[in-house]
Every structure is written in structure tokens, then in C-alpha cells.
Chain A
Amino acid sequence: MTSFDQRAFFKEVAACGDAAKGLRLIADAVRRRQLDAEGMDKAGRRCAATFTAADIVAERVLLLGQCTTTWVGTALTAVAWGEGRALDVVEGTYDNVLQELLGANPAIRPAAVVLLPWNKRLLASGSRSAAERVQDELDFWREAWRAVETRLASRIVQVGYDTVSPGALGYGLGARGGGDVALVRAVNEGLRAALPAGAAFVDLEAVAGEAGRRSFYDLRRYHWTKQPFSEQGVIRLAEHLSAALRAAIVGPRKVLVLDLDNTVWGGIVGEVGPLGITIGEGPDGEAFTAFQRHVKRLSERGIVLAVSSKNNDADAREPFRTNPEMVLSLDDFAQFEANWEPKAVSLRRIAKTLQLGLDSFVFFDDNPAEREHIRQALPDVAVVEVPEDPAEYVRALDQELWFEAVGLTDEDRIRSEQYRSEARRRDEESSYESVDAYLASLEMVADVRPIDDADMDRVVQLIGKTNQFNLTTRRHGAAQVRQMLAEAGAVGLTLRVADRFGDHGLVAVAIARMEPAERTACIDTWLMSCRVIGRTVEEFFFNQLVDAVRGSGARRLKGEFIPTAKNGLVSDLYDRLGFERIGTDGAGRVEYRFDCATAGAVKTFVRPKAAVMGAAS
């Protein structure tokens, strides 16, 4: 491996006339970890100076510290640029956090504000009690959050407190009562509990602990510059800040694509067979087992797993079927690509099937050639720099921070499960003779209910984001929905559906308003999640809607199709359901009519929940 000449590198960057090219060189060097602390500082300053020239719009981030933030801002710029994000980091004056926030110009709203405390006042000698000290710090940061919320409405990245040494009471006593360690932990717990929704917390104790306080802090630097972090500490802190900003603004990456041979097991299964791979026993086996366990826990947390392996499909699946030491099972993967095509082709296919962008992918492969191939072919994919020793795999994956998130929602956990059951369903689909037989085998059961307050959030969310199966694309808010439902004769319905492979949750909404004099119900809103398209779920819902409006006294239904760029899918839905076209305007909008007094039910493979519940299991 050739040694990197940093001086020559920056000369090259300065010499190349093209701003965009210079920035690309810098991004590559940052990603490859070729730059030392001085280099990261230079890189950050160069980025800041060049973004405008390269027509790159940078997101503004305000960095406010109770310690000196010099070098942290530039390191953050460089780290973020290595991840493909352009930041314009504006540093506030030393220890002027509130003054900066209260004096900030609301017209120049930053995307995020990074708040960096330091323990100077918390740990100062004096007569204030432990509880008072903790309260003082928490009161301060509450003021800061209030200022951010009222003046700037930016995302917040709150860094925690830490000690450099345990203090006068030492390690044992320091962690009890009013000792330094206890004070820091109490403030951090208080911060975490009081943090505004959507804010990211960077646990400085954990970050420093990971590096080791002796190498993370540099007291000499603190005395000289009022910045406590060492050169390496600054870079590591910048990496965590970048991950926190990403978590707060964009969200964590969602997909982990794994190689198989020498990644989740030792050896090449095509050569040694499914029982000859290294997993379970022995030092290497234990390491691979630990890695599989870690990956499985990521999946339980909501990260979607996929495989991309250069192998015959049958060979690749064998260990999952026959090797008892395997921790991961085929069920854990939303997609399994084992073939001889270039891995970029497989990853593109996985992205298309999962309907997730490549910029939410993380790629873990022991083979440096494959890693380089993906870096070149799919620059949006995060490629983990995998170390040689499998014992280091877990740490290597963790420390890249791609899955840092602001909060863990039930939705995250369900999402991974949804993708896996979707995968099982897809596998089954291909082996059915007829579509009807397949649809029947799904054993779909649906529950239709009137829209109630408990569902309102989800209903409004669906109304806001459903584009394809959406007849009228009216983006009602909760207030408008309630107003419509309060009208005489109005009908508002939600549909939940489950099948043999899993529960899809609340996936469809319909709202019809009554014209009493005409005894006609007009369908204002009808939309459905694309997850359940093509299975006669809409036919089932339609039958329920007809029953409901009949119950309201309607003899006729009116429907509208309002075309958009995305809803061509439903341009003929009303025609298929037997509606009659009664008018169209120049913009492609079509009006329909349906006589529901005499209409029979439309064919569907979905059964109502109540009927099923009565049956013996």
C-alpha cells in the first residue's frame, strides 16, 4: 500500500482548476481515512471555500459550544463531505451559546443547531450542592432549546457532558453522591429525558469511552485553547456529530447488504460444503457467530437485511438449511441474491424490489475488490471498510454509525418484519398455476371500520403521502376530515388487511359525502397503500363502501377520477367496477355514476374479519 503524501495531495487539489474535481478528490481522501487531523482541518476549510464555486448548496449548521469549537467545525465539514453531504458549519463565539441563539437572525435558519456543553461550571469548586449544579445546567439547556424552537425551528443535536478524570473523589466515590462522575451522569440523564422530540443526543461519555479518555482528551490543548479534545478526539467527535445530524435530518440508513463467504461464515461454501464452513466452534467460528448475532439484532431493531453473494443460489442457501450453528436464517433476509453477476446489478435489483433508494444501503463484504467495485459503481451506497480479522467485524460495522437514529418506533421494528414477510409472499407467488388460486391461498382477511379519532393520525398520513392508488389526491388535514365526517349522511371508512404472511395494518381510506336531495353519496377520497395493490382488496373495500352508503340512505354513488402524474394506475378503476361515465373536462378529470340500490357485490378474495372470527380455528 503506497503511503499517502498529504502535502502533495493538497497541492494537487489546489492545482486542479476544476472546483468540482477538487471536491471529489477531498471526498475520496476523507472516505479512505487518508487525512490526519491537520488534513481534515484543511479539507474542511477547502470545502467551505469551494462549495459555492462548484454550485453545491450546503446545509447550514450552527455549532455552539461552551468550549472552543475550532477544528471541530472543519472536521465536521470534511466528514460530512466524505459521506456526500455538503455542510456550511457556522461556529458561534466561545461559550456564548445563549447569546448566539438569542441574537440569531431567524431569516437565516440553519438546518440544525449543534449544542456542545462543557463541564467547567458543573465541576467547579464552590458551595452549590450537587442537585443545584445539575439543575443549573439543565435550566441552561432548556433555555437554549426554547430559543432554538421559537427563533429558528431547526433540528437540535445535543451533545452530553463528560469528565476527563474522575475528580477528587476518585473512581469509586466519584460515581456516587456528589462526585464528578455522578454529576455528569445525572446531567446526561436529565438532558436525555427532557430533550425535545426529534432531537439527537450524542452521548459524549460513550464516545470518549470508545476511544479511551486518555487518547480522546488532551488537557494541554484545553489549557492552551479551551478545547478539551485531542486531534483524534476531534475527528471522532465530528464523525458522531455527522451521524447525529444525519439521524436528525435525513434518518438512518435502512438496509444492510451482506456477502456470505468469509463475511457471515468462514471459508467458501462452494468449496468446503455447508458443514465445512467456519461457524460456531473455535476462535474464528465464535467471531462469525458473534457477527451473525449482531446482524440479527439489527434486523430485530428494524434494519432490513439482504444478501449479495457470488455463489450458486443452491450452494449459498445450504448452510442456512443444514448447518445447526447458523444464527441467521433464510427468513431473516428480505432478498437473497446469490449469482455470478456483478454485485452492483444485484444491489440495484434489491433496491428496486424493496423500493428503497441506494442511499439507504450499507454494504458489508470482506473482499476489497468487491468493496471497490461497489464504491465505483454505486457511490450512494455506504461501503464499510471491513478489517481482516472477523473478530473486529462487529466493531467495524458499529463504528461507522450508519444506523444511528433519533428514536426507535414500533414502525421501525414492524418495517423489517413487513419486508421479510413480503419476501416470503413473493417467493410463494411464483409457484402458483393461476392468479385466482394464488389469491385464494393468501387467506386475506380485512377489517373495515368507520374512521375514528384513534386512527386519525394514520388516516391523515395516508391522505398526505399516497400517490398511486389515489382517485382524487385531495390532501385533507385532520380538521377537514372531521368536518366532512360531521356532515349529515357522511361515510368515512378505514380498511385493515392481513394475510397468511403477516398483518399489513391500516392500508386504505374512503370518504363519501351525501347530497341528501339527490340521495347520492359522492366519493371525495379513496386511496390505498401500494403494498396491497393487485389482490382484490379494493374490490372488497368497494363492497363495504356500497353497503355503508346504502345504510346512509343513498341510492346512487358518484365518483371522480382526477388525473395526476402518478395515479394512472386507477384511471380505469371506476370503469372496472361498473360505474357509468357521465362527464369529463378538458384536464382529464372524469365523473362517474353508480346505481347502488340494485348492485350486487363485486368478486373478491378477501374475507371480512367478523365472518372469520366466528369460524372454528
Chain B
Amino acid sequence: MDILEQLTGIFRDVFDADDLTLSRETTAADVDGWDSLMHVRLVIAVEKAFGVRFSSSEVASLANVGELADAVARKAGSRA
């Protein structure tokens, strides 16, 4: 399963929405209920799932799901 697929599973879980689909271009504006508090929950869930940790500035700089996936890949990969 690639990172985008895994992220989709995580997002579906956190949003409680089985039909949610993600692409690299998806942003917060595209998903119902993705407010700042939901954003924090997503980041924490992603951190738990991949065993990584984001700094505040890293989180602030992510523009879309694709950049999130890349950030995860960088952090998870660098621990291999």
C-alpha cells in the first residue's frame, strides 16, 4: 500500500466517512469538516500511524495532501 492509500484510510477513520477519496491535490477546502481542530487530529493520527513527528512550522507549510505524503515519506524513509 502506498502512502496515499494509507493516508486515505487514516482520513476515512478520522472523518468517519467511508466514501472519502483523496488525491495529491486535495486541500482542506475540498473536504467537509476539515477545520483547524480536525487538522490537528489528522496530523496526530498520521504521526501515530507512521511513527513520525511534525514540527509546528512543518505542519503550517503543508498546502495539500501530496505535500503531506511527501513529508511522511521523507521522515519515515529517513528512519529506515
Interface of A with B (CB < 8 Å)?
A: 7, 10, 38, 41-42, 45, 68, 70, 220-221, 223-225, 231
Contacts and interface: CB of A to CB of B under 8 A. Distances in A.
Given A220-B56, A225-B36, A38 B16 contact: no
Contacts of B40: 221, 224-225
Of the listed residues A38, A41, A42, A223, the one surrounded by the most CB atoms of chain B closer than 10 A to its CB is A38
B44 A42 contact: no
Nearest to A70: B37
B56 A223 contact: yes
Contacts of A224: 36, 40, 56, 59
A38 B36 contact: no
A5 to B, nearest CB: 12
A220 B37 CA distance: 13
Nearest to B45: A38
Identify the 7 closest CB pairs spanning chains A and B, nearest first.
A224-B40, A70-B37, A225-B40, A7-B13, A225-B37, A223-B56, A38-B45
Of the listed residues A45, A220, A221, A225, the one surrounded by the most CB atoms of chain B closer than 10 A to its CB is A220
A73 to B, nearest CB: 12
B36 A231 contact: no
A42 B16 contact: yes
A38 B41 contact: yes
Contacts of A45: 16
Contacts of B31: none
Nearest to A225: B40
A68 B36 CA distance: 12
Contacts of A223: 56
B5 to A, nearest CB: 15
A10 B56 CA distance: 31
A231 B13 contact: no
Interface string B40-72: 110011000000000010010000000000000
Contacts of A68: 37
A571 to B, nearest CB: 61
B14 interface: yes
Interface in B8-38: 13-14, 16, 36-37
Contacts of A231: 44
B32 to A, nearest CB: 15
Interface residues of B, number: 11
Nearest to A45: B16
Contacts, number: 23
Contacts of A42: 16
Nearest to B37: A70
Contacts of A220: 56
A220 B44 CA distance: 11
Contacts of B16: 10, 42, 45
A38 B37 contact: no
A225 B45 CA distance: 15
A322 to B, nearest CB: 55
18 contacts: A7-B13, A38-B13, A38-B41, A38-B44, A38-B45, A41-B41, A42-B16, A45-B16, A68-B37, A70-B37, A220-B56, A223-B56, A224-B36, A224-B40, A224-B59, A225-B37, A225-B40, A231-B44
Nearest to A224: B40
Given A41-B41, A224-B40, A225-B36, 5 more contacts: A68-B37, A223-B56, A224-B59, A225-B37, A231-B44
Contacts of B59: 224
A7 B44 CA distance: 16
Contacts of B41: 38, 41
B50 to A, nearest CB: 15
Contacts of B44: 38, 231
A7 B45 CA distance: 13
Nearest to A218: B44
Contacts of B14: 38
Contacts of A38: 13-14, 41, 44-45
A10 B40 CA distance: 21
Contacts of B36: 224-225
Nearest to B43: A224
A50 to B, nearest CB: 13
A216 to B, nearest CB: 16
A546 B16 CA distance: 75
Nearest to A37: B44
Nearest to B14: A38
Contacts of B45: 38
Contacts of B37: 68, 70, 225
A220 B59 CA distance: 11
A37 B37 CA distance: 15
Nearest to A36: B48
A576 B36 CA distance: 77
A96 to B, nearest CB: 16
A10 B23 CA distance: 25
Nearest to B9: A7
B14 to A, nearest CB: 7
B25 to A, nearest CB: 24
Nearest to B59: A224
B75 to A, nearest CB: 16
A45 B38 CA distance: 14
A16 B16 CA distance: 16
Nearest to B60: A224
A10 B45 CA distance: 16
A225 B56 CA distance: 11
B38 to A, nearest CB: 10
Nearest to B38: A70
Of the listed residues B44, B45, B56, B59, the one surrounded by the most CB atoms of chain A closer than 10 A to its CB is B44
A42 B12 CA distance: 13
